[in-house]
Amino acid sequence: MKRLYMATVLLGLGLFVSAQEETAKDTLESKKIVLDEVMVSAIRVNKEIPLTFTNLEKREITPRNLGQDIPILMNFLPAVVTTSDAGAGIGYTGIRVRGSDATRVNVTINGIPYNDSESHGTFWVNLPDFSSSTQNLQLQRGVGTSTNGAGAFGASLNILTDAVSEEAYAQLASSFGSFNTLRNNVKFSTGLLNDNFEFSGRLSRITSDGYVDRAASELESYFLQGAYQDENTLIKGVLFGGHEITYQSWFGIDAETLATDRTFNPAGIYTDDNGETRFYENEVDNYKQDHAQLHWNENWNKQWSSHLALHFTRGRGYFEQFREDDDFGTYGFLPVNINGEQVNTTDLVRRRWLDNDFYGTVFSLAKTAESYDFVIGGGYNIYKGDHFGEVIWARNAPDSFIRDRYYEDESRKTDFNIYAKTNYGLNERLRLFGDMQFRAVSYEANGAETGLVDDTFNFFNPKAGLTYTLNRNNRLYFSYAVAQREPNRNDYENGNPRPEKLNDFELGWRYLNPDFQVNANVYYMKYKDQLVLTGELNDVGAPLRANVGDSYRLGLEIEANLKLGEQFNWQPNIALSSNKNEDFV
């Protein structure tokens, strides 16, 4: 992997208001504490903090929202590349930032971690049409500020769901597009009842044939919210979730097949008794995920505010595979004699299940003063996962029964973190930013692939920086940040992986006026023991990684927003990067 990569994204054209534009909702600038924003303010940044970020508001998301996943709606942002297994932006999608894959992008919803605790992945397929319930989001590139969940090694994305609506409404929406993609949803809100209570919700259904062969999706989701608010208090209960059934399309193809049959999907392929190539019809991924969140936001006075949340996530489902000529030993089958010949292999259909719970709490306490801002926060979260496999059909296995389990293992992970941050005005032009986080992680597993795992990690992640205001339109900033993170579940298949460490240096310039905004920055991300792809795949087609010694990412990002009259904005951007492994051990 000792190669030089150059990635360029040019002239991202959009009709949206700039992410760096000054708005009345910039809570730290205006010193006004907005109750809905308290849920995410502890992990967000603004133009006075020396970190690289982009904001997207609902008014910018809505015109692009035709049922595709959140990563697809962000594909015009600097240094962002989005992926879609089915090729239509529906189903399994992902995001890469600065060349780092989705497992390195920390994602939170209302301040609560969304990344899977074991794989670190973000499975947007489990939350179809979630953009329709998103109030705003912020993408921080690089390490970013301290947040909850796994460390950000390429970026962090925090999402705020719909705010309390003062007015009642009911909406029906449908959209139809390529590959028989159809999205239907209904949304409603009671508006504020007696000036204090609001109930709102959404139901969605999305179907698509996909661009890739047989990469069909059947997706359903819901979002329900009940809130009480007065002048200083917001109590909000949020329920959301989804059910996805998608034909598997994550295996990929080689360059030769890509050139001759670019939509070919090898999933479910087998040869029948007549020697003809067939595809198993039920080679699907079938998974349900439900989330429950309870938030209490409080403005104690003009300076102090707090946020406390409890959460619970329930997930369960499987993916089904037709396997041709698999060894008996993998499934604990005994050899059989057929026509006097010993047989040790069989065609079969298996299901690999995941049944998991994730629950915990996050909290923050913030002070907003005239010359400084201070926040302390953290969280404690527990994950429990049951992994097991079932054989639901076998051609040659008389000693087996339907739904025999051929493996079972349990895993448990705890994640505690606490952080403190301040942004202090040294004088009228210069501000100092400081951020310290301690994170303790323990992980236990006993899978056949992982072996016995009982690891504990303690990470200290400091961050600091300066912002210098040249005048009302121009700001310069510099920051240094440390991030460390534990290996994921698949990494243990390659032995005893080491945790990764990242030192991130950011230097940037922001220019802001009502009609034109520019943000330019250079970064140097120095890695130690980075886990990189080896080119190997495991039994289900997932890529494997191994530690390398020293590696880095060096890049330049420029984004701009030019207002063209009352109706149009032009948003070009460019991203250049060089990413290299200096040694491989």
For the stretch 32-55, pLDDT in tens is 446 777 788 888 999 999 999 999
Cα 446 from Cα 410, distance rounded (Å): 6
Q: Does residue 9 have a pLDDT over 60?
A: no
Give the H or E element holding residue 84.
Answer: strand 80-84
229 C-beta neighbours (distance < 10 Å), count: 18
Q: Which domain holds residue 176?
A: 27-581
Give the H or E element holding residue 224.
Answer: strand 217-229
pLDDT value, residue 16: 35
- What is the share, in percent, of the chain residues with pLDDT greater than 70? 94
Torsion of the alpha carbons at 447, 450, 455 and 460, rounded to the nearest 10: -130
The average pLDDT across 560-584 equals 87
The average pLDDT across 293-313 equals 95
Residue with the larger pLDDT of the pair 398 and 179: 179
Cα 560 from Cα 126, distance rounded (Å): 33
pLDDT value, residue 29: 37
Q: What is the 3-state secondary structure (H, E, C) of 263-299?
A: CCCCCCEEECCCCCEEECCCCEEEEEEEEEEEEEEEE
Q: Does residue 391 have a pLDDT over 80?
A: yes
Domains held by the chain: number = 1
The average pLDDT across 194-216 equals 96
484: in domain: yes
Tell me the pLDDT of the chain averaged across its residues: 89
Label residue 186 by pLDDT band (50, 70, 90): very high
Label residue 568 by pLDDT band (50, 70, 90): confident
21: in domain: no
140: in domain: yes
97: in domain: yes
The average pLDDT across 56-63 equals 91
Torsion of the alpha carbons at 450, 241, 208 and 280, rounded to the nearest 10: 40
363 C-beta neighbours (distance < 10 Å), count: 19
202: in domain: yes
The backbone torsions φ and ψ at residue 574, rounded to the nearest 5 degrees and listed phi first, read -140, 140
CATH classification at residue 129: 2.40.170.20
The model carries a pTM of 0.90
Structure tokens belonging to residue 473: 């339109």
Task: Express each pLDDT in 77-127 by its tens digit.
Answer: 999 999 999 999 999 999 999 999 999 999 999 999 999 999 999 999 999
Cβ(573)–Cβ(559) below 8 Å: yes
pLDDT value, residue 14: 37
Please tell me which of 14-18, 35-39, 234-238 the model is most confident about, judged by mean pLDDT. 234-238
Cβ(146)–Cβ(168) below 8 Å: no
Structure tokens belonging to residue 230: 């007065």
pLDDT value, residue 549: 85
What is the CA angle 233-237-242, rounded to 5?
150
Where would I find the beta strands (DSSP E) of 328-403? 336-338, 341-343, 345-368, 372-394
pLDDT value, residue 34: 66
Q: Does residue 517 have a pLDDT over 60?
A: yes
pLDDT value, residue 149: 86
Q: Does residue 405 have a pLDDT over 60?
A: yes
Residues present in the chain in total: 585
542: in domain: yes
Structure tokens belonging to residue 224: 């329900």
Gyration radius from the chain CA atoms: 25
512: in domain: yes
pLDDT value, residue 17: 36
344: in domain: yes
